[in-house]
Structure 1
């Protein structure tokens, strides 16, 4: 692992960029705060984006401030900058990036540069499922123990622009996707891999590359890395500095019907955990394992009793006419949907379907037979799921919907008093929405309009 420079509360880290020409590829939330910071510091900036210039927010203001634009189909031509910041969604092996790298351009990202300069303990969380909840729990446990915490990466704030505020005694909690890991050569002080199952195979070249990306979060020099001991893939990553969590007896931090244990000690009673679902017991175990040296037992109990979850994850929307509606738009894979549905004792009315990530959907057949009294299908994967349900002779009701408004209307018409309706797509959102947050927001709006 590359040694980090201890800086304190100043902007010294910006000096290494002031003599360079900087390019940003992608006008998204990862790049734009840094671009604006660099403009304030008088740094030469180019913004490259495949979209047309007039579709970029506040482009006229940026032009006035001296930003050079390269947009449209040729946005990657003639890369001349000293440093290029890539947005998370871009693969690092585009021919244009490889050629620029050969010419001496540094190809980097927000998180790579943050880890290069960050003076404090960093905790990185990745995995196929549970990243956001586990990241949030890490942050809340530390905060409840009196620590100053910065939460970023896939969630929270842009961490690079916060570097001037961060001191050595603080903590940075970072949710990291496989996309981001493919472009990172530095690792956090502490890492967590929640689990590994097929995901994002539309972006990765295959499962081998996806697993390789997840493993990149690990380093032999880390203080500790926290691994799911019940997951064969993550268990295969085990090293001398590994700490295991899970349900089986072999794990250092484990959960059972009574609660969460460390060794023989019951740290947290199950009845004291507000957040529902066995998958959230795993998330708690992972988070506690990562931050255990820095937190108090009082913090563990206070967070467990007060934290009800994060938005779009089995989020209670409302109850109307005796029917309860839940938003779990984050469920972008069959494993996430399984975790959500298994959190309930009864069968649910499930709204599913979305963007096709080329991951296996067959497990949904058995799952929906067991946990869904009806399935309302929409999006690109709707027909695939319908065929799977037909193949397993699904005994419930299957209904097709054209969009979210139609799906919510049909779910409401189908539901009786006491029923529960959940949006749990088992797919990404990109066929109809920019991201899962927009999808979840649309679902909540349609439910509240009933």
Structure 2
């Protein structure tokens, strides 16, 4: 057992530890913590019979159970509580337990505390998964062992014993993970901050403050990479405790990664400008992905050879559900951009195409305004197929937008994804592009955007 794993074991041995929820990572950690001598309690809304075969393992492990309607009563008198990112930090029962002396933490927070290697972390409203994946790919191209986790990849605390000091941990962090963080990574990237998750955060300021937490615990020797073109991330420069640099595709900078006027992606540091690769060599589609690549270059600068960055930039084809090509049928190209769960993500996707397209949009309402999306839909969309809770809100914003009557935009409504795909196919002619780009979360019809995207792809591939 590595020294860091031993320190974790010593910290939990004999302690009363509650886990909120029995998700995939918590199931592994439940076994691990029981093996380290903790008195473990599982708090879950489910009743025991709903766990199926897992109920037997819980009995074998001797886990205390606090289940059903009053499951949060199990938080009382705990020494340590691990919450999932989806469980809101400011829930009264959790805050009461914290006030009574419990350490409220999470799988990711404990990993940050005990991880023996350097951590690079990415947050933001848009682009964080692609940026995180690019950073990981650049380290791998340089021959490093990478542990990818957080909001993507796998839970990292269960593999703590496998992590060596010379490795690299690369993590994506959501606002839900960051809201209670009390440690920062060696390198922190904030891509942008735009309205999102306002159905969970009490207001926009709480959301911004959660994102800022990635920077607040840095110190000398740390680096912060901030998006210059976003007003919120630009102001975060005041929060930086170590070195700081920018990334931008709209102007040149003497401190960070930028897109030069001649189309070359460059890095400027210490008075020197180093070309990395030409925009024409980048395999990813869309100007927003140029920004993601610039952010990744700035994040790994000085730790990865330029040649490794160039190879990744020229070969990285993207991440599933992010302007993902699905198929070409009867001359019509179909794309899956299910990750576009906010207006800003949808706008970035729309701008990736050089023609007016057919868009399927709508879904769960996160209380985000759709007025900024409306003019982009008029400019980039010829047929808009709407579905879900937000369909009427998107239509209202579009119809109220100046220029709607003259735009020629056709608006259709569907009851579900199958109906939306059918309407899009009926409207499409050879040469057209159809994209699922919902500008909304998935939770009205699907458990997450991945399930939504895969269902869409199944329907399109069955045409």
Under TM normalisation by the shorter chain, which class is it? Answer: over 0.9
Equivalent residue for 1:261?
266
Structure 1 residues 160-198: Cα deviation after superposition (integer angstroms, max 9, x where no partner) = 011101111111001000011112111111100000111
Matches within 5 A, 1:148-187: 148-187=145-184
TM-aligned CA deviation for residue 59 of structure 1 = 2.5
Greater relative CO, 1 or 2 (CA 8 Å, sep 6+):
1
How far apart, in 2, do the equivalents of 1:345 and 1:308 lie?
19
Q: CA deviation at 1:53?
A: 2.9
The 2-side partners of 1:414 and 1:88 are apart by 40
| 3-state DSSP of counterpart to 1:80 | coil
Residue 420 (structure 2) aligns with: 407
Residue 280 (structure 1) aligned with residue 289 (structure 2): yes
Question: Which residue number corresponds to residue 60 of structure 1?
Answer: 56
**SS class of match (2:133):** helix
Worse-matched range after superposition: 213-222 or 332-341:
213-222
Gaps of 5+ in 1: 1-5
Q: TM-score, normalised by structure 1?
A: 0.95
- Counterpart position of 2:429: 416
Equivalents in 1 of 2:175, 2:433: separation in Å? 33
More deviation, 337-346/213-222: 213-222
Question: How far apart are the structure 2 equivalents of 1:162 and 1:229?
Answer: 36
Equivalent pairs counted in the alignment come to 445
CA distance in 2, matches of 1:72, 1:111: 26
Tell me what 2:68 maps to. Answer: 72
Alignment check: 8 A CA contact 1:274 1:307 kept:
yes
**Contact in 2 for aligned 1:346/1:371 (Cα 8 Å):** yes
Asked whether the 8 Å contact 1:118–1:163 carries over to 2, the reply is yes
Give, in angstroms, the shift of residue 33 of structure 1.
2.3
Q: Deviations over 1:275-329 (max 9, x none)?
A: 1111011101111101111101221121112110000000111111111111111
Query: Which aligned pairs between 1:85-234 and structure 2 lie closer than 5 A?
Result: 85-218=82-215, 219-221=217-219, 223-234=222-233
The TM-score with structure 2 as length reference comes to: 0.93
Unaligned runs of 5+ in 2: none
Asked if 1:34 corresponds to 2:29, the answer is yes
**Match for residue 3 of structure 1?**
none
Name the SS for the 1:69 alignment partner: strand
The runs of at least 4 aligned residues of structure 1 exceeding 4 Å deviation read 6-12
Asked if 2 retains the 8 angstrom alpha-carbon contact of 1:220 and 1:241, the reply is no
| Greater shift in the superposed pair: 198-207 or 385-394 | 385-394
**Aligned counterparts of 2:317 and 2:334: Cα–Cα separation in 1:** 16
| CA deviations over 1:144-163 (Å, ceiling 9, x no partner) | 00111100000001010111
Pairwise CA RMSD: 1.7
Q: How does 1:325-340 map to 2 (within 5 A)?
A: 325-340=334-349
Q: Is the 8 A contact 1:126 1:176 kept in 2?
A: yes
